[in-house]
Structure 1
């Protein structure tokens, strides 16, 4: 389970260190930084896939995603005694991301390229340093693997930090290029954990949504990010997951309703029989809210639970009557996986807030900076360049 998430220099997140729990709720007004927090966690996950640089590029490059306020915000600025203005920069330009779980911690520091202006790729950030450590916070004594510039060093069984890579490209992470069963086992373990994180924020329910149409199906222990394989994912739960919990979750939201999956020449299709109707409804006939709830059900009741599931505004398209069943569904999923929920929906938040192991962070902005009300930041230290 993740215990801490840290981000510095990303959009409105100038310096944010959050404690996490089995269920973590992120709320706040529009523009408070919820979407930036979600994106920063997703960007961290992209590091393990080797896609972090490309993801930043799709957002407009490093300069478009960096904190746009002054390097430091003085007390006089906060009191309104002096205008908010920049001063001569003392620190380096950096976007930092990191987390700590029950076993390991990891952090990455991205900065401006050394050859800015001399390459067609001068908009791409470069990785300045990385660190992997044991325990909750980095220290000199618990670092397992570290990267500064092109060199990666790993702690061996004799307690020596030896270089395992000397010429790592500045756009490649040690997480993808130094993870090795022999010399970088911890890197390999953590990389696979990060690759197993799941993010759901583009579950389509419009008339042309892929989930509404028959699709070639294979065993699907994890619903895809767009929900296209919904029928196969639900059938996988019925065969190798907990079909009783699935049936209960559907009945909780739609009393008396049942689902069935039909297969025609390898094409899987979802049908739903609702109380009072004489025939089953095809997925193409379901309302947006009904389809979204079924998508969330398939995501949360996966027979192969993820270490972390992040839901961004799961209440979209849902009728208020479905929010309490959704909260119960999330709580059930949280017995096997950690769930982070970004939400506007007060009924959903209130229903989850009373659950054991639930932590609620309410975001707000002060002088353009996202802050968290009444949050005691965990111990944290960024690696040095």
Structure 2
């Protein structure tokens, strides 16, 4: 389980360290930084998929993701006696992301590349440092793999540092550029952990959404991010997952209703049989909210639970009466996976908090995202490795 999430110099997040539990809910008003925290988690996942630089480019490049405020905000500025003014930057530009878990921790530090008049990729971020360590937070004695610029070293079986021959490109994470199960088994285990993370963010439920149409179906223990394979995912839960739990989740939200999957010649279609109707309703006939609840049910009742599941505003399009049922469904999923929910829906936040979720309520303080009421002494232990 992840114990700590740390983000530094990313959009409105200047320096944020929060502790995590099996079930977590991040909330706050619009513009408080919820989306920045969610995207930072996705960037961490992209390091193991080799898509970190591409993802940052889609966000406008590294320069557009840096904290836009001043390095320091004095008491006179906070009191309103002086305006916020830029000063000469003393520290290097860093974008730092990291986490600490029960077994291993990881951090990555990105910055600008060295000037090179011959390169057309000067806006690409350069990875300055990556570190993997044992335990929830980084200490010199707990480091296992250390990447500084192009060079990489690992702790060998004798407990000594060993330099790995070759040079890493500045745009390549060591997670994808180096994979040796003999000299660095911890990297393989950590990469597999990150690759298992799942993110679900605003399923399509419009009239042309793929989940409304028949789809060719195969065993689908993991619902795709866009939810196109909904029918196959629900049928997989029926056959190799917990069919009783699926029926209970539907009954909780829609009393007297049952989900059925029609299949013919390999084509699957989701239908709902409701009390009082002579025929089941096809997915194309269901409301956006009903379809979204089915998608969330398929995601949360997966027969192959991930180590971490992150849901971004799952209550979107749901009728208020469905939100408590969704909260119970999420709480049940947290018994199998660590779950982080980003939401500003008060009913869902309350339902998850009552289910023992750890609450992180975000707010803006002079443009900087902070956790409401979190004192420095309450922060989990964390240390950023120096460049």
- Where 1:305 maps in the other structure, the secondary structure is coil
- 1:304, distance to aligned residue in structure 2 (A): 0.2
Check 1:323–1:157 CA distance in 2 against 1; reply closer, same or farther (3 A cut): same
- 1:251, distance to aligned residue in structure 2 (A): 0.4
- Where 2:211 maps in the other structure, the secondary structure is helix
Query: For each residue in 1:259-285, what CA deviation from the matched residue of structure 2 results, as whole angstroms up to 9, or x when unmatched?
Result: 111112211111110121111000000
- For residue 170 of structure 1, what is the aligned residue in structure 2? 170
CA contact (8 A) 2:270 2:283 kept: yes
The CA distance in 2 between the partners of 1:92 and 1:165, in whole Å, is 28
Check 1:117–1:75 CA distance in 2 against 1; reply closer, same or farther (3 A cut): farther
CA contact (8 A) 1:116 1:123 kept: no
CA contact (8 A) 1:13 1:67 kept: yes
The CA distance in 2 between the partners of 1:113 and 1:275, in whole Å, is 63
The CA distance in 2 between the partners of 1:73 and 1:208, in whole Å, is 49
- For residue 269 of structure 2, what is the aligned residue in structure 1? 269
- For residue 122 of structure 2, what is the aligned residue in structure 1? 122
Equivalent of 1:380 in 379, 382, 385? 382
CA contact (8 A) 1:164 1:183 kept: no
- Where 1:5 maps in the other structure, the secondary structure is strand
Structural RMSD (CA):
1.0
- Where 2:146 maps in the other structure, the secondary structure is strand
The CA distance in 2 between the partners of 1:176 and 1:73, in whole Å, is 39
The CA distance in 1 between the partners of 2:155 and 2:382, in whole Å, is 21
Query: What TM-score, normalized to structure 2?
Result: 0.97
- Where 1:141 maps in the other structure, the secondary structure is helix
The CA distance in 2 between the partners of 1:320 and 1:116, in whole Å, is 55
CA contact (8 A) 1:150 1:165 kept: no
Query: For each residue in 1:306-338, what CA deviation from the matched residue of structure 2 results, as whole angstroms up to 9, or x when unmatched?
Result: 111111100100000000000000011000001
Check 1:165–1:359 CA distance in 2 against 1; reply closer, same or farther (3 A cut): farther
CA contact (8 A) 1:300 1:329 kept: yes
- 1:245, distance to aligned residue in structure 2 (A): 0.5
- Where 1:298 maps in the other structure, the secondary structure is helix
The CA distance in 1 between the partners of 2:177 and 2:92, in whole Å, is 26
1:197 aligns with 2:206: no
1:239 aligns with 2:239: yes
In structure 1, the gaps of 5 or more residues are none
In structure 2, the gaps of 5 or more residues are none
CA contact (8 A) 1:152 1:178 kept: no
Q: Bigger CA drift: 63-72 or 173-182? A: 173-182
Superposed, 1:202-221 pairs within 5 Å as 202-221=202-221
CA contact (8 A) 2:202 2:313 kept: no
Superposed, 1:283-298 pairs within 5 Å as 283-298=283-298
Query: For each residue in 1:27-75, what CA deviation from the matched residue of structure 2 results, as whole angstroms up to 9, or x when unmatched?
Result: 1111111111100111110001010000000011001111111112223
- For residue 69 of structure 1, what is the aligned residue in structure 2? 69
The CA distance in 1 between the partners of 2:296 and 2:177, in whole Å, is 34
Superposed, 1:1-385 pairs within 5 Å as 1-115=1-115, 118-356=118-356, 358-375=357-374, 376-385=378-387
- Where 1:130 maps in the other structure, the secondary structure is strand
- 1:86, distance to aligned residue in structure 2 (A): 1.9
CA contact (8 A) 1:231 1:261 kept: yes
- 1:355, distance to aligned residue in structure 2 (A): 1.2
- Where 1:384 maps in the other structure, the secondary structure is coil
- 1:84, distance to aligned residue in structure 2 (A): 1.2
- 1:374, distance to aligned residue in structure 2 (A): 2.0
**Count of residues in Structure 1 that have an aligned counterpart in Structure 2:** 384
- 1:116, distance to aligned residue in structure 2 (A): 5.5
CA contact (8 A) 1:202 1:225 kept: no
- 1:81, distance to aligned residue in structure 2 (A): 2.6
CA contact (8 A) 2:202 2:316 kept: no
Query: For each residue in 1:136-188, what CA deviation from the matched residue of structure 2 results, as whole angstroms up to 9, or x when unmatched?
Result: 11111000001001111111110011112431111111111223211111000
